[in-house]
Amino acid sequence: MRTLSIAATGMLAQQTNVDVISNNIANMNTNAFKRQRAEFQDLLYQQVSRPGTAAGGTETMVPTGIQIGSGVKTGGIYRINEQGALTATANPYDVAIQGRGYFQVTLPSGDLAYTRDGSFQLSDQGELVTADGYAVEPGIVVPQEAIGVTIAKTGEVQVTLAGDPQPQTIGQIELATFVNEAGLEAMGGNLLLETAASGQPTIAVPGEPSFGTLEQGFVETSNVNPVSEITALISAQRAYEMNSRVVKTADEMLATTSQIR
């Protein structure tokens, strides 16, 4: 009987599904978190009788054949890059992206990472950094004597100095976009890495065609919908229970067979 192994693949697939859903729920309050969805594929089929083969004559053929499936597997876990809501923070260094794009961040290794979490702060040198201390690219340093900082929708950063009513531009925030955003590799800490699947980044100023704009004093929240996730969790639980019932039924059938005298 293939039933036991088929049902086992179904249980394993639903375990993965629950893992993905639980991760979504756990990150409901994570800045700029993008929910994920597990995708499944059927496994190889045993071709007992192929469709279209001859059926006892040269002019007759089998219309459907006999193909017996062997279960299910996880085909991938897809990141849904839907815009999250913007929440006001009253922090002048918090910046949210409205639309497409990622901030560029320099890692200690010198490599670039990408994030939509714009909860930025200043380092001891006045440099704009993430909560983990990673510098935002291109580097922006706010003078110590600055009494006000303004970040325009187009990413231009200006400061107001004491005794000088004329704002001074100190830098320009740039955004990166990718052909396949779902192909970015998540490394934790709200950071993503470029991969061969994502393609190389396209860099431009916010507000350019196909690029979002910036909102100072806001952060993007998670795009997780609690109602949808709980509904999906219930469906996954029911599917797991049905597969476990199949295992129990197959076991009872095998027990009946072993008792035949």
**pLDDT tens-place string over residues 17-57:** 999 999 999 999 999 999 999 999 998 888 777 777 776 66
The whole-number pLDDT of residue 57 equals 62
Sort 130 into a burial class: Cβ within 10 Å, 0-12 / 13-18 / 19+: buried
Residue closest to 81 by CA, chosen among 234, 220, 203, 206: 220
- Dihedral of the alpha carbons of 22, 25, 26, 29, in degrees to the nearest 10: 170
Could you tell me how many residues make up the chain? Answer: 261
Phi, psi of 174 (to 5 degrees): -115, 155
Model-level pTM? 0.84
Structure-token match 């219930």, residue found: 234
To the nearest 10 degrees (0 to 180), the angle between helices 226-258 and 3-26 is 160
Cβ burial of 95 (10 Å; 0-12, 13-18, 19+) is buried
Predicted local distance difference test score (pLDDT) of residue 221: 95
Q: What is the pLDDT of residue 94?
A: 94
Q: What is the tens place of the pLDDT at every residue in 202-224?
A: 999 999 999 999 999 999 999 99
Query: What's the mean pLDDT when you consider all of the chain?
Result: 90
Q: For 188-202, how does the pLDDT look when each residue is reduced to its tens digit (9 = 90+)?
A: 999 999 999 999 999
Q: Which residue has the tokens 């017996």?
A: 68
Low-confidence ranges of the chain (pLDDT < 70): 55-58, 261
Report the pLDDT value the prediction gives residue 107, as an integer from 0 to 100. 94
